[in-house]
Chain A
């Protein structure tokens, strides 16, 4: 049985099969990796570039970054705070979904959007925003220049190498800082 299979692989037919197989695996791997980094579809296509270029601060919508582990996602109340006064709210087709959720009687949203998180780290990584923001790391340093992103996309893969590179760089010559920032237990517990 094995001999027959081996003979088939050596044959021209077999070699083409192997070549196609390898190419398929390669393309599939590339596709898979690219897909894992692509942004998932969201309930509403929120335009970061529009808001950022208009001067809205990151911390206005994501205040948790200053205080704790998670920056948080804004409630529609926050969006509506400005958008109820903006002309574009009535004209933009994209905003129809949000307008539909506002109860005209109370001027309050009835539900929230089910946002899909784009930046996800595994649950064995305990990342907290507060010390990073406090240390002067800008949002763009990790999340990219949002004034140029229509739909948010990770500018690079959020893997351990990415974190450690910056940690080592920021620690510089300070041995104590370097020890702390490269300690396994600082993030994995």
Chain B
């Protein structure tokens, strides 16, 4: 150093150095400061890092598939099927897998809420909530109290039924979008007409060698999809000597139809005629007299009406004649027509012709669930309109809603939302802030299915009577807060929900008198035990126990109780063939060039829109994610000057809906189809749209989707264009609307998994 440095300059530098040191200590333990809290009392079966498994039942639909849920330190991590449960035998569907995103959904209702029909929203405590329920029960005439429930949660339905019965209120009505699209009333009415008993038929797919499905989407969401998929797999490849053959009749190639060896498109509403025509051809080929059921149908006429060639009908008839165990299944949109009941009867008659009732590979009556006296089906759409009329007339003063979202699930034309205006008090027990919940006076949130006790009767899907059991696999959803001053952590409950059964029991106790007598139980579990008690003496059970507490313990451990041997009732076929089946084409409501075919989204189901991984699952046939589309035949679209991603307006006599077009090669030229499951205006951030841009932004939405106002819808709801038209059994003729299609000039790019180039040559200079 040739020059001297002043002391002052040296000190300046030195202090700069020290300051740098202080700033850069990010490597110390302070930055990795993590705290671990062991259990205060370690449960005996728990080791850090090892999982605990609980058996329960899935509540994403009413099928009753058994689950084994892997939990670790109080968190549910993975859902697997319960290998012992006869319905699913260890398998799960996509909705069951994603149920964890419902349990841990950021948009669950966080506490009992004074909702004020959306106008004034404030949280409440449970004591006040229970008081309100008690008052609603006490202060209204029993005949003016109504319960509207979903098709799941059987134990709650039983509790409410018992309560209603005891206090003189009308029995609860059960309903759900799935049961609407499955036409459950039609199936059981057809069974009643032809087989003599109102029951849910069971189609033994596994042992059939040739299957004819008339619209039944049994690989998607129909009735018990996991059970029927297992049956399908067995039919296909279960017999080493013969591969099962599958023919599917449907105007569009659904996911189920795509697995068929022959997909036969036809004019919607002609499925019954086609079944009868085939039956007649089979009878003629076999020789002998043609049974009454098929006597009046003319195959040539049917060919021209339906669009199915006569050669095809003959070919199918020949296949049936040569088959050992042919099976015909009615379902889906075929029953959702004005002639749906006769269609179901025609298909059942076809089964009778091939004499497969009660035989392996044939038609059975689903066994009644343990403890069930008779088959109880959900309400039909017609019965729901009667319920809504009752609401409109003002004769319902207090309405309790659980497990169903009628504003979204029912066609707008039914007027449920308007009818709510005539009901003075509406109390919702919804777990999520769906459209009906936010339009209620109060939301007293039920636990999520994985946090619930209960049982689920298996209506169909198993050869044995099954009562599937539920138990909480977690104690709730928690989060940790750190006190900024003391540094101490506290664990707080994020969602303060409570079992609706517990709420009702507490409310009845509070109300006293006949209410308390109606439900003389300490809590939900005691109620459930009261329903299980007579199973102890039942023979042939999957387990036995000397008394109720041991029985309940096994019930929880196994995930339910079922009979070991199959109990499929054999319907009597004798009278079926001698009855004439009313064969006619369907009638369509409204004017329009196209027949509108809504179908339940195979990935979303009725209530999956708020689970982001379900939204990100590509639709099996179109691979579209996160949105709604309308399927149009490419030729038809070309004539109309419509191409992919064009937004079109679809108008029926009942309403309007808009959606982006997907040129779908496998659909009847006169039919357009739209999936059901999207179009929510509430129900959380994943079920709705953020706003202008669809990208996840740096927003921190808190209450805007919970208890808040309506959000932009994600996609569209096809129920908006459905009118109040029913088939003979009272089910909604959801595939019986005629619609007009109009270009809007807007474009909405659909997110697809498939490459556009590969499908339609888009971007390669080709045009369709």
Q: For the complex, is B696 an interface residue (Cβ under 8 Å from A)? A: no
Are A116 and B35 in touch, CB under 8 angstroms?
A: yes
Please encode chain A, from 106 to 124, with 1 for each CB lying within 8 Å of some chain B CB and 0 for all others.
0011111111110010000
Rounded to whole Å, the gap between the CB of B52 and the closest CB of chain A is 12
Q: Which of A27-35, A86-94, A135-143 contacts B (4 or more CB under 8 A)?
A: A27-35
Are A67 and B50 in touch, CB under 8 angstroms?
A: yes
Q: For the complex, is B479 an interface residue (Cβ under 8 Å from A)? A: no
Are A20 and B17 in touch, CB under 8 angstroms?
A: yes
Contacts of A39 in B (CB 8 A): 29
Are A28 and B20 in touch, CB under 8 angstroms?
A: yes
Q: For the complex, is A159 an interface residue (Cβ under 8 Å from B)? A: no
CB contact between B33 and one of A21, A73, A116 (< 8 Å): that residue: A116
Rounded to whole Å, the gap between the CB of B10 and the closest CB of chain A is 7
Contacts of A77 in B (CB 8 A): 40-42
Are A68 and B47 in touch, CB under 8 angstroms?
A: yes
Please encode chain A, from 1 to 40, with 1 for each CB lying within 8 Å of some chain B CB and 0 for all others.
0000000000111011100110111011001110110111
CB contact between B39 and one of A33, A69, A75 (< 8 Å): that residue: A75
Q: For the complex, is B3 an interface residue (Cβ under 8 Å from A)? A: yes
The total of chain A residues at the interface (CB under 8 A) is: 46
Q: Name the CB-closest residue of B to A117.
A: B36
Q: Which among A75, A114, A115 has the greatest number of chain B C-beta atoms within 10 A?
A: A114
Contacts of A67 in B (CB 8 A): 47, 50
Q: For the complex, is A63 an interface residue (Cβ under 8 Å from B)? A: yes
Q: In the complex, A38→B30 CA distance in Å?
A: 11
Interface footprint category on B:
35 or more
Q: For the complex, is A71 an interface residue (Cβ under 8 Å from B)? A: yes
Rounded to whole Å, the gap between the CB of B12 and the closest CB of chain A is 9
Q: In the complex, A109→B30 CA distance in Å?
A: 28
Contacts of B4 in A (CB 8 A): 12
Are A75 and B33 in touch, CB under 8 angstroms?
A: no
Are A31 and B21 in touch, CB under 8 angstroms?
A: yes
Q: For the complex, is B697 an interface residue (Cβ under 8 Å from A)? A: no
Q: In the complex, A66→B725 CA distance in Å?
A: 67
Contacts of B32 in A (CB 8 A): 36, 120
Q: For the complex, is B489 an interface residue (Cβ under 8 Å from A)? A: yes
CB contact between B25 and one of A15, A21, A28, A74 (< 8 Å): that residue: A28
Are A72 and B29 in touch, CB under 8 angstroms?
A: no
If the complex has contacts A32-B27, A63-B47, A68-B49, are A12 and B20 also in contact, measured as CB distance less than 8 A? Answer: no
Q: In the complex, A29→B30 CA distance in Å?
A: 16
Rounded to whole Å, the gap between the CB of B24 and the closest CB of chain A is 5
Interface residues of B in 35-62 (CB under 8 A from A): 35-42, 47-50
Q: Name the CB-closest residue of B to A108.
A: B41
Contacts of A113 in B (CB 8 A): 37-38
Are A16 and B5 in touch, CB under 8 angstroms?
A: yes
Q: For the complex, is B488 an interface residue (Cβ under 8 Å from A)? A: yes
Q: In the complex, A72→B30 CA distance in Å?
A: 22
Q: For the complex, is A76 an interface residue (Cβ under 8 Å from B)? A: yes
Are B28 and A112 in touch, CB under 8 angstroms?
A: no
Q: In the complex, A95→B615 CA distance in Å?
A: 54
Q: For the complex, is B34 an interface residue (Cβ under 8 Å from A)? A: yes
Are A38 and B29 in touch, CB under 8 angstroms?
A: yes
Are B38 and A74 in touch, CB under 8 angstroms?
A: yes
Are A75 and B10 in touch, CB under 8 angstroms?
A: no
Q: In the complex, A40→B10 CA distance in Å?
A: 35
Chain B residues within 8 Å of A, Cβ to Cβ: 1-5, 9-10, 13-14, 16-18, 20-21, 24-30, 32-42, 47-50, 488-489
Q: A13-B9, A27-B21 are in contact. List 12 more A-B contacts (CB 8 A).
A: A24-B18, A28-B24, A35-B28, A35-B29, A36-B29, A68-B48, A71-B48, A75-B39, A115-B35, A116-B29, A116-B36, A128-B49
**Can you sample 6 A-B contacts with CB below 8 Å?**
A16-B5, A20-B13, A31-B21, A32-B24, A39-B29, A72-B47
